[in-house]
Amino acid sequence: EMRPKFVVRHYLLTWFAPDLAIVVCDWSTLFINVLLDTADDTQRFIVLVRMGKLLRMAGLLRLYRLGTVLGNISDHLTYKHKVASKVGAILILVLWVNHLICCAFYGVGRWQGTQEGSSWLTEFSGQDALYTYTSSLHWSIAQMTLGACEIAATNSVERVFNVVMLLVGILASSTLVSSLSAAMVDFHLRAKEYNEKVNVLHLFLRQNRVDPRLAQKVEQQVVRRLGVKGLLTEADVPALSLMSTSLRQDLHFHMCKPHFASHPLFNVWAHMSRLSAKAVCTESLTFHHLQSGDELFFAGTLTDSAYYIIDGDLSYTQHPETSPVTAECSNSVTKGAWLSEASLWMHWIHVGTVVTEGPCVCLVADARKLLSCIKKHRAINDL
């Protein structure tokens, strides 16, 4: 839905408030900088205390929106890239956690140095800040991976902190290893399945002595399509079988209604009887997913189905051999179009061929099942 009225309404109900908070906080930061240039120390402290919570809230909102964006990007990644991004995210998370631990360990050293005069930082008193930070980071990574490090605790507080981090490291290292192992094993299993499919196809083509040029085209298309991540269908979601029949009908009706009601006749039916419309959607409407270069139907074939293009572009081609035209002609078919809808009330033979120009999703209406659903409702049947 791209009409400005609905876009504005959707934005106001979803991301307007978070975006407004972020913009307000950005301007507040600039305002604070101006105050810090002119205010005394007391005023600076009051301003910072009042604005601190708001700025932290803006940071959390940015993280939440970043997570939403990353989730949308992940939905379009292939499994190989998804595994690589998952491993990379785990490593980044480990580095970030270790950064926090090393900062905490450095803070303990500074605090104990002022309290007791001696801490693990005493040995690094002559070193620069970079060496001290990397040494603290080395210590924190050693605790997480149960490795060795030359930094030793010099007081009871540092020793307790060391013991606590060792316990955390036991849990973190086992969780990290299990997560990475599970991801890599799953990746290898999928790669094995992919190779088996390609090898079986290659063996089939060789045993049937298929022409090498045709075999190459077949293998190229299969390999390309194996790497394409298609949209999920109801058959791909086993959890849907656990739903009750009525709830599953509600779900299917909710998915089909925007497209089903785009046809004037179906829209009238939906307003006359919601129950019958729900039965029609459940029993006679199915979603059909096509990839680039697929044929939706061929010229000269008998059909009892109508098609509604939900998404994607197609090409409708007519030939003189199968249609009443004198020369071959092609027309573009875009989303929102109905094809062969006459097959719903009469015997119909296609006079053209429809080929997808990219990934396509369409809604298929089966005329026989649709007719049986209509007969159950007297008013709609009379209409």
For the stretch 6-54, pLDDT in tens is 778 877 887 777 777 767 766 766 666 666 555 455 455 444 545 555 5
With vertex at residue 194, the alpha carbon angle to CA 193 and CA 195, rounded to the nearest 5 degrees, is 95
Q: Give the position of tokens 């801490």.
A: 119
Most confident of 303-312, 342-351, 366-375: 303-312
Residue ranges covered by each domain of the chain: 1-76, 86-229, 234-382
**Rg of the chain on CA atoms, in Å:** 32
Side chain identity at residue 16, one-letter code:
F
| pLDDT of 114 above 70 | no
Closest to 285 (Cα-Cα) out of 321, 260, 268, 251: 260
Mean pLDDT score of the chain: 80
| pLDDT of 94 above 80 | yes
The pLDDT of 149-174, averaged and rounded, is 84
Side chain identity at residue 55, one-letter code:
L
Q: How far is CA 21 from CA 26, 67, 350, in A?
A: 9, 18, 57
Please tell me the predicted confidence (pLDDT) of residue 307. 92
- Largest distance between two CA atoms of the chain: 99
Tell me the pLDDT band of 204, cut-offs 50, 70 and 90: very high
Token pair of 3, please? 């009409």
Please tell me the predicted confidence (pLDDT) of residue 315. 92
More confident position, 146 or 224: 224
In whole angstroms, what is the distance from residue 86 CA to residue 5 CA?
39
pLDDT digits (tens, 9 = 90+) for 172-182: 888 888 888 88
| pLDDT of 5 above 60 | yes
Please tell me the predicted confidence (pLDDT) of residue 270. 76
The pLDDT of 241-246, averaged and rounded, is 85
Please tell me the predicted confidence (pLDDT) of residue 65. 59
Contacts of 301 (CB under 8 A, 6+ apart): 349, 350
User: What burial letters (b/e) apply to 285-297, b meaning 16+ CB within 10 Å?
Assistant: bbbbbbebeeebb
Please tell me the predicted confidence (pLDDT) of residue 125. 78
Token pair of 207, please? 């045993």
In whole angstroms, what is the distance from residue 373 CA to residue 238 CA?
27
**Superfamily designation of domain 234-382:** Jelly Rolls (2.60.120.10)
Side chain identity at residue 131, one-letter code:
Y
3-state SS class at 244? coil
In whole angstroms, what is the distance from residue 373 CA to residue 365 CA?
12
| pLDDT of 60 above 60 | no
Q: In the chain, pLDDT over 90 holds for what percent of residues?
A: 7
Tell me the pLDDT band of 57, cut-offs 50, 70 and 90: low
Closest to 259 (Cα-Cα) out of 361, 336, 204, 322: 336
More confident position, 264 or 306: 306
pTM score of the predicted model: 0.59
Which residues are registered as beta bridge partners of 305?
Answer: 366
The pLDDT of 116-140, averaged and rounded, is 82
Side chain identity at residue 261, one-letter code:
A
In whole angstroms, what is the distance from residue 132 CA to residue 137 CA?
9
